[in-house]
Chain A
Amino acid sequence: MPNNNIDIKKLYTTLKNDFNHLVYNKKQTEYDLLNIINKLCYKKKFDIYDTNNYSFDEISNLFRFYEDELKSDFEENKIIFHSKFKCYTLLIKAFTELCIIFATNLEKRVLINNFFQLLRESKNILKFTIALDQKYINTLNNIIGEHLYYFSHIQYVYTKEKDIDYILDEYHMNLERQLHGFELSESTSFGDNEFTNKDIEYAIFVNNASFLLLKMLYKLDYYRPDIKYFDNKKFENILFLFHEISLFHKNTKTIDTNSFKEMLVKEFKASADFLLKEKNHNMYEEKLALLNLNTDEYKQLIDIILFSKE
């Protein structure tokens, strides 16, 4: 990387503008994002993508490269460190956007989990090896948190041939991950970002959480219609957690799975409408794109979301 702060800032500003332009206009493609990632490697060659395959080895090397750069600059030049840290966070954002693209690609969505593991590993290595100031720790922790509550609902959960207790535990853990993520980001004041609106972030969290649970219910209806789980202890854990985080149903008693579905749809719709109004962010379209990868199992849920949208 350049060791001149002006060059690093120039590199960052140009790529940040390119990135924002792509994301704001929803024009980002895998190619564009890889291009930004390559430029962030600054003349160092990392073959992270080759003939339709991603090399986790090379992605790891890229992050080790950044960690080393940051480590030596932290010791020698705090101004350059600050600029490179911004490049590092942009790099993470670019990988995150790649994961968003993968989420609607049947073949590539299996990569998401590994990508997020690598990203989280890098952030923890950074905290583990550099005595960072609180503001940088807050930035990193906010990204960890966001990844958890923005993306934990994306992962595809296989339910066929699995024990019902295990399936319910898996969804419970995903719901917990969303909660842990939101609480972590909130504790950092969303990366000390004064422009972040807590109500909007909470709406994103609730929307993703209710969507996760709706997927669970309709998936179980489709694959395991014979199993009754309403009185299952594991399901009660999910209900308990849902009531804790919900917008309108903190003290409402859930009498059966149908009433639970109704509550979830209400939470989903309210948060989606709020985000559409306040942020022009269309959660309906976003979630439908995810469900459209598995139209058979989610046919009913797709209809419900389409109906709520109108």
Chain B
Amino acid sequence: MKKLIVEKIDSLPPLPNSVLELEEFRKMSNKEPLDLLKIIEKDPLIITTVLRVANSAMFGFVSEVETPSRAISLLGVNFTISIALGSVIQNLIQSNLSAYGVGTDDFMFSSNLASNLVNTWVSKISFDLKEDLLLPAFLQETGKFVISEVINDNAQKEDFLEQLQVTKNISNVEKEFLGYSCARITANIFKHWNLSHNLIFSIGFVEDLEHCPKDYVKKAQILEIIKILCDVRNPLSDQNVQKALTKANEYGLDTEPLLQSIDSIKFKLENDF
């Protein structure tokens, strides 16, 4: 099984330069809007997505947002980066998630939910942590595409789905079938793509705090809580919310702001639909 996973990871296409450039840009202390524009302008897919989001009703921009430059002016640098990264990853991984019984839209919903939690909850813990965790939270389930392929190649889809139904614990089922959790596999994908240590370590040690380097423990704890809440099969389910609050308590994190974020996100979702 390990060999199969490694083969799958090795066969992944290289990460587009735009992601690496966006990640580098995101970490800069002085973010020049012009530099962001130059990165975005190279990728038609990013341009399309940014313009689509900027023109959505929720932002209420009456005149049409027709150029990426106008979108950056109106949405701001940080918002534009989040949208841009989302669109690249969505395009990059076009494989299916049938082993989990969900579609790509469900995956994107969970990933956006994770970003939303970082913006609304983690920002209350620390501004720096929010900055560090935005991308890891958004991308931490990327390994699920590889897992789904491996499970399908091994004709284990029915058994895998059945176990997910029974245990409701995705990580345990992943470990049972593959020997590794999604977190480890995602970390290895990012290692393959030469992404930053922050990304690889923060994600790789989720649910493995025992081996986690000291500097990454808090990040791994927070990502674990986000992972529970953004469960691709049952995002924000009552059971997962309870589980996340219990974890937050166990890790000594204040549950009040977490609960506030969950409530406001749920309220917004209910109103949007």
List the interface of chain A (C-beta within 8 A of B): 56-57, 60-61, 64, 67-68, 71-72, 75, 113, 117, 120-121, 124-125, 127-132, 134, 137-138, 140-141, 144, 148, 166, 169-170, 173, 176-177, 180-181, 183-184, 187-188
Contacts and interface: CB of A to CB of B under 8 A. Distances in A.
Interface in B43-86: 58-63, 69-70, 73-79
B59 A127 contact: yes
Interface residues of B, number: 38
B127 A56 contact: yes
A140 B60 CA distance: 10
Given A130-B268, A148-B73, A125 B126 contact: no
Interface string B230-273: 00000000000000000000000000000010011101100110
Contacts of A166: 34
Contact of A180 (B30, B70, B119): B70
A117 B120 contact: no
Contacts of B61: 141, 184, 187
Contacts of B272: 131
A187 B63 CA distance: 7
Contact of B78 (A72, A117, A141): A117
B265 A129 contact: yes
A72 B126 CA distance: 22
For the complex of A and B, 8 pairs with smallest distance between CB atoms? A137-B60, A57-B127, A120-B76, A187-B62, A180-B73, A131-B271, A71-B264, A177-B73
Given A124-B76, A131-B58, A176-B69, 7 more contacts: A68-B264, A120-B75, A129-B120, A130-B268, A170-B32, A173-B69, A187-B61
Contacts of B260: 68, 72
A184 B75 CA distance: 12
Nearest to A120: B76
Contacts of B123: 60-61, 64
Contacts of B75: 120, 124
B128 interface: yes
Interface of B: 30-34, 37, 58-63, 69-70, 73-79, 116, 119-120, 123-124, 126-128, 130, 260, 263-265, 267-268, 271-272
Nearest to B121: A64
Contacts of A117: 31, 76-78
A258 B70 CA distance: 30
A209 to B, nearest CB: 14
Which applies to chain B's interface (DSSP): helix, strand, loop or mixed?
A: helix
A142 B30 CA distance: 26
Contacts of B79: 120-121, 124
A141 B128 CA distance: 27
B127 A127 contact: no
A176 B73 contact: yes
A142 B163 CA distance: 53
A138 B76 contact: no
B60 A131 contact: no
Given A131-B272, A184-B61, A176 B76 contact: no
23 contacts: A57-B127, A60-B130, A64-B123, A68-B260, A117-B31, A117-B78, A121-B78, A124-B75, A127-B58, A128-B268, A129-B265, A130-B268, A131-B268, A131-B271, A137-B59, A140-B60, A141-B60, A144-B74, A173-B33, A176-B69, A183-B63, A184-B61, A187-B62
Contact of A124 (B59, B130, B263): B59
A155 B184 CA distance: 44
B37 A64 contact: no
A302 B212 CA distance: 59
A67 B30 CA distance: 26
Contacts of A68: 260, 264
Contact of B58 (A56, A64, A71, A128): A128
B126 A184 contact: no
Contacts of B263: 72
A120 B33 CA distance: 14
B30 A173 contact: no
A184 B31 CA distance: 23
A78 to B, nearest CB: 14
Contacts of B73: 148, 176-177, 180-181
Contact of B124 (A64, A131, A173): A64
Nearest to B267: A75
Nearest to A131: B271
Nearest to B272: A131
B49 to A, nearest CB: 16
Nearest to B129: A57
Contacts of B127: 56-57, 60-61
B63 A129 contact: no
Contacts of B33: 173, 177
Contacts of A169: 34
A188 to B, nearest CB: 7
Given A64-B123, A180-B70, A184-B61, A129 B264 contact: yes
A57 B130 CA distance: 10
Contacts of A170: 32, 34
A11 B62 CA distance: 33
Contacts of A129: 116, 120, 264-265, 268
Contacts of A188: 62
